[in-house]
A and B are shown apart, each in its own frame.
Chain A
C-alpha cells in the first residue's frame, strides 16, 4: 500500500511564475490536508479538502493560492505569481476520515519550493 505521494519533490520557480504541487493520498483516504513549513518553523495548516470540496481554507493566503481535490486525480496546490517568501516545504497529508480528531494524518515527503 503506497503512502502519500507528492511531486515534484523539488521545484524551482522564478518570481512571477506559477507553481503546481501535486498530492496523491493513500489508497482509501478521502481527506487531504496541505501544510507549509517555513525554515526553522513548524508546519502551518493551509487547507483541508475532501473530494471536490474545500472544507476549511482558513490557513490559505487570500491571494495567489488555491487548492483543489477533483473527483479523479491528485490534489493540486497552486501558487500563482510566486514571490521569494513562498519558498518553503509544502507537505500534504491524508486521512481516511476527517472526524473524529484522533485520526492521525499520514504525510507525504513534501515538495520543496525555491523561488529565485
Chain B
C-alpha cells in the first residue's frame, strides 16, 4: 500500500520552460509535505515544504501547490535550469509520527539546454 505516489518516473523539459512534478497521496491525515532533490551518489537535500493549512508556498524559482480535496501536490520550477536535473522526491509526514516521512518513488527531471 503506497501512500505517496509519483506517477511519472521521468520528465524532460527545455531550459527556461516550466517543470511541473506531481505527487498524489492517499492518507488524508498527512499534515506536512516536503520535496527533496537528489543527485546521483548523494543523499537527498531538502528543497521546499508546505503545511496542510496552506495551499501554496513559494521560494525563488520553486513553488509547491497543495490541493487537499484531491490529495494532490505539485512542484513548479520556473524557469528550469540544467542544474535542476535530478531526482525529485515527494514526502509526507504526520505530526504524530515524530517526523517520520513517507516518500514517493521519485521523478527524474532532465532539463535540456
Quick check: which of A13-21, A35-43, A63-71, A79-87 contacts chain B, the rest being far away? Answer: A35-43
Structural contact, A101 and B103, CB atoms closer than 8 A: no
Quick check: which of B11-19, B45-53, B68-76 contacts chain A, the rest being far away? Answer: B45-53
Structural contact, A42 and B100, CB atoms closer than 8 A: no
Structural contact, A42 and B89, CB atoms closer than 8 A: yes
Structural contact, B105 and A45, CB atoms closer than 8 A: no
Partner of B94, one of A42, A101, A104: A101
In whole Å, how far is B72's beta carbon from the nearest beta carbon of chain A?
17
Q: How many residues on chain B are close to A (CB under 8 Å)? A: 28
Residues in B lying within 8 Å of A, measured CB to CB: 4, 6, 31-32, 34, 36, 41-46, 49, 51, 89, 93-95, 97-106
Among A44-103, those with CB < 8 Å from B are 44-45, 48, 55-56, 91, 93, 95, 97-103
Nearest-CB residue, chain B, relative to A104: B46
Residues of B within 8 A of A107 (CB): 36, 43-45
Structural contact, B101 and A105, CB atoms closer than 8 A: yes
Residues of A within 8 A of B95 (CB): 99-101
Nearest-CB residue, chain A, relative to B106: A42
In whole Å, how far is A12's beta carbon from the nearest beta carbon of chain B?
16
Structural contact, B43 and A110, CB atoms closer than 8 A: yes
Structural contact, B97 and A101, CB atoms closer than 8 A: yes
Structural contact, B97 and A56, CB atoms closer than 8 A: yes
| Contact A108/B43 with A42-B89, A98-B98, A101-B32 known, Cβ cut-off 8 Å | yes
Interface residues on A, range: 20 to 34
| Contact A95/B103 with A104-B34, A104-B46 known, Cβ cut-off 8 Å | no
Q: Does A22 lie at the interface of the complex (its beta carbon under 8 Å from any beta carbon of B)?
A: no
Q: Which of A48, A97, A105, A110 has the most CB of B within 10 A?
A: A105
Residues of B within 8 A of A4 (CB): 43
Residues of B within 8 A of A103 (CB): 99
Task: Given contact pairs A43-B89, A97-B99, A109-B41, enumerate 11 new A-B contacts (beta carbons under 8 Å).
Answer: A43-B103, A45-B101, A45-B102, A91-B43, A91-B44, A98-B98, A100-B32, A101-B31, A102-B51, A107-B45, A110-B43
